[in-house]
Structure 1
Amino acid sequence: MAALDLFGRRWILRIMWELRDGPLGFRPLQQRCDGMSSSVLQQRLTDLQEALLVERDAVGAYQLTPLGRDAYHELRGLVRWSDRWAAELDRRPPDRPTTGSPPSA
C-alpha cells in the first residue's frame, strides 16, 4: 500500500513520466510539469529520492533509478488502460454526461 500512497500524491506520476527519457535539471523538469511551484517540485523530488525511485546524476540532474525505471515500465499498463478508457468515454451516447468520470454501474 505504500506504493499506492506514494503514486497517489499529486505530481509524482507526472515527474516520473517526464524523467522517462533521461535526466533533467530542476528548471527543465519544472517547465515540463506545467511550471509547478518550486517548493512542490522539490518536495516531490525528495519523496521520490527517499523512495529510491529518483536520484541525482553527477551534474545534478534528476533521473529515474533502476527501481524507478521498473516502476515506470509497470505503470505503462495503466497508461494503456487509460487510453482505452478515454476512447470508451468518447464513444458514449451524447445524452450521457461527459465529466470524465467513470461510467456509473
Structure 2
Amino acid sequence: MATDSDARIPRPGQPVRGSRTGQPIMVLLDLLGRRWALGILWQLHDGACTFRDLQDRCDSISPSVLNTRLKELRAAHLVERTPEGYALTLEGCALFDLIEPLGAWAKDWVNTLSIKPP
C-alpha cells in the first residue's frame, strides 16, 4: 500500500522538477537535488553508519529531514539498512563512483572563479 511519503519519491514516467515526462535522468537529478541527499550519499561512501553518526557527519541535519531523505534514498535502492547502520547499496556505490569525479572537477572549477573554497 502506498503512503503519502511514497507519493513524494520521484519516479520515472511521472512529472518531476524539470521534466513533465519524468525522464530517468531528470528523476535522478530531482532526487539528488533534494536538500542533503547528495551529502548523505557522500557521507555513506566510507561505509555504514548509524542514524546519529550520519546526523553528526551531516553537520547536525535535522532528524526529520534525515529520516525523509533516508526513506527516499532507500526507496530508490541507493541506501539500505544493515546491522551496522545505513549503507550504500551496490547501485548507490555505482552512482557514487560516477559522482565522485565531479568533486575533483568542482575543486578545479572553483579555482577559476574569484571565490575561495570553504
TM-score by length of 1: 0.82
Q: 2:94 maps to which residue? A: 70
Q: Which runs of 5+ in 1 are unaligned?
A: 93-97, 101-105
Q: Deviations over 1:25-63 (max 9, x none)?
A: 00000000000110000000001000000000124x000
Q: Rg: which structure is higher?
A: 1
**Aligned in 2, Cα 1:99/1:76: closer, same or farther, shift over 3 Å?**
closer
Residue type at the aligned position of 2:83: A
- Counterpart CA distance in 1 for 2:47 and 2:105 is 24
Q: Percent identity?
A: 45
RMSD: 1.6
Q: 1:88 maps to which residue? A: 112
Q: Which runs of 5+ in 2 are unaligned?
A: 1-25
State the shift of 1:99 in Å.
9.2
Q: 1:95 maps to which residue? A: none
TM-score by length of 2: 0.73
Q: 1:103 maps to which residue? A: none
Match of 1:6 among 8, 20, 31: 31
Residue type at the aligned position of 2:97: H
State the shift of 1:68 in Å.
0.1
- Counterpart CA distance in 2 for 1:34 and 1:76 is 20
Q: Deviations over 1:44-98 (max 9, x none)?
A: 0001000000000124x00000000000000012112111111111xx4xxxxx4
RCO higher in structure (CA 8 A, sep ≥6): 1
Q: 2:77 maps to which residue? A: 52
Moved over 2 A (4+): none
